[in-house]
Amino acid sequence: MKPLILAAALAAAALAAPAAAARDLTVVSWGGAYQDAQRAVYFQPFMQARGIRLLEETWDGGVGVLRAKIQSGANNWDVVQVESEELLVGCEEGLFERIDWARIGGRAAYREDAAHECGVGAIYYSFILAYDRARITGEGPRSWADFWDVQRFPGKRGLRRGPKTNLEIALMADGVPAAQVYPMLRTEAGVERAFRKLDALRPHLVWWTAGSQPPQLLASGEVALTSAYNGRISAANRNDGRNFAIVWTNNLYTIDSWVIMKGSPNLAQAYAFLAFVGQPQAQAQLPPRIPYGVPAIGADALIPAAVKAELPTTEANIATALHIDDAFWLENIDRLTQRFNAWAAR
């Protein structure tokens, strides 16, 4: 009886082992409504059209996660959507494959700022200030300075855990014009000023990590105001019948990219996936579901005008935007993350 059980166990292990050796293409994105939209317009059509099995994973950023994946030798991700400074840091450290543009339609098929040696643009998006009109019925907040006004707008505030975006927001709330934010953050006094401003809001802060959280925090009334990705807020209005408002003033504008993890055993499938999601017809399907800008040349022409008004790339929305400075974060993300964590954990 014993040997039988043992044999069964070994057989089970043997059966399980090949599954490990040849794992499926794993695509990692930001979860929630955004990934729901990607699933509908990218993942499932891709699986059907190309007959390649695709596994999904979600993450909430941090180049350290990618470093840990590569250096532990246990990397199980193939294609990952990363933020701009993660793209630069990871590329410099050799965490990503160099993009072979010939396999995905050539550099010219994408907007110029979307083609990097290690990554291809996925979406343009903005961090915006959001609130629930169902709860703040009178005049709502209009700027990041109002975000700090807990008298007029009582309740908790949601901010993304980490230094990026929050230091900028803090300075703009403190009256620093958008153009002066990064010059000031390059000085010790500027960083100090940003943390002091955050200190003032500390008792009211709730940290979010995943992009799906801000709409939930707003919907449940957990927070009164929050920073959020613009698309998630619009998606909540559209899909869940919410009445959330977006304040575009001084939004923080940036781009996300797809990268292929170094040494991916699914390189061919990864390129097949990137080529598929790089088609203008495919990309034009995304904004109607979640209003983010897309980088494929020719996609914009296919997007309905009504949808365009909600995009961060639209003239009116980008006018007061602060472009997130990748060079600054490349130099400082490690140092400021460390400082931020020590500050937040206190």
Partner 1 sequence: MSAPRTPLGRLGRVVHWAFTLAVLAFLVAPILAIVPLSFSAGSFLHYPLPGLSLQWYREFFGSPFWIDSVVNSLIIGAGATALATTLGTLAAFGLWLARLPGRGVVVAVLIAPMVVPSVVAAVGLLFAYAPVGLANSHAGMILAHTALAAPFVVVTVSATLSGFDRTLLRAAAACGAGPATAFRRVVLPLIAPGVAAGALFAFAISLDEVVVALFLAGPGQRTLPRQMFAGLNDNLSLAIAAAATILIALSILLMASVGWLRGRAARLAARTGQP
Partner 2 sequence: MAEGSAAAGLAHRVRRTGGRRRLAAALLVMPLFVFLLVGFVGPIAALLARGVQDTEVPRVLPRVTAALAEWDGRGLPDDAAFAALVEDLRAARAAGTLAQAATRLNYDINGFRTLMFATARRLPVPGEDARAALIAADPAWGERATWAAIRRAAGPVTDFYLLAALDLKRDTDGAIVAAPAEQAIFLDVLARTFGISALVTLLCLAAGYPVAALLASLEPRRAAVLFAFVLLPFWTSLLVRTAAWVVLLQREGVVNAALLGLGLVEAPLQMIFTRFAVVLAMAHILLPFMILPLYAVMRAIPPGLGRAAASLGAPPWLAFLRVTWPLSLPGVAAGSLMVFIQALGYYITPALLGGASDQMISWFIAFYASRTVNWGMAAALSALLLVATAALYAVYARLAGETQARMA
Nearer to partner 1, 13 or 179 (CB): 13
Q: Look at residue 254 and give the partner it binds from partner 2, partner 1, none, a contact being a CB closer than 5 to 8 Å depending on partner kind.
A: none
What CA–CA distance (Å, rounded) separates 249 from 146? 11
Q: Look at residue 341 and give the partner it binds from partner 1, partner 2, none, a contact being a CB closer than 5 to 8 Å depending on partner kind.
A: partner 2
By the rule CB under 8 A, 334 interacts with partner 2: yes
Q: Which one of the spans 169-177, 179-187, 266-274, 331-339 is the region binding partner 2 (CB under 8 A)?
A: 331-339
Q: Look at residue 222 and give the partner it binds from partner 2, partner 1, none, a contact being a CB closer than 5 to 8 Å depending on partner kind.
A: partner 2
Q: Look at residue 281 and give the partner it binds from partner 1, partner 2, none, a contact being a CB closer than 5 to 8 Å depending on partner kind.
A: none
User: Max alpha carbon distance in the chain (Å)?
Assistant: 77
Binding pattern to partner 2, positions 128-167, x when CB under 8 A? ----------------------------x----x------
Region label for 223, one of left (φ > 0), alpha (ψ between -120 and 50) or beta (otherwise):
beta
By the rule CB under 8 A, 220 interacts with partner 2: yes
Residues between 259 and 318 with contacts to partner 2, criterion CB under 8 A: none
Least Cβ distance, residue 338 to partner 2 (angstroms): 6
Nearer to partner 1, 112 or 240 (CB): 240
Indicate the SS3 state at residue 232: helix
Q: Look at residue 339 and give the partner it binds from partner 2, partner 1, none, a contact being a CB closer than 5 to 8 Å depending on partner kind.
A: partner 2
What CA–CA distance (Å, rounded) separates 14 from 326? 47
Least Cβ distance, residue 139 to partner 1 (angstroms): 29
Cβ 101 vs Cβ 90: under 8 Å: no
Helical segments of the chain, H only? 2-21, 32-38, 44-50, 63-71, 84-92, 144-147, 166-173, 181-185, 188-201, 213-219, 230-240, 267-277, 280-283, 286-289, 305-308, 315-318, 326-345
Provide CB contacts within 8 A for 152, sequence distance 6+: 141, 146
Q: Which tokens in the block code for residue 150? A: 């807990």
| Interacting residues with partner 1 (CB under 8 A) | 1-2, 5-6, 8-9, 12-13, 16-17, 19-21, 23-24, 26, 31-32, 55-58, 72-74, 76, 209-210, 212-213, 216
Classify strands 115-116 and 79-83 as parallel, antiparallel or unpaired: unpaired
Binding pattern to partner 2, positions 178-217, x when CB under 8 A? ----------------------------xx----------
| Neighbouring C-alpha atoms within 13 Å toward the C-beta of 90 | 33
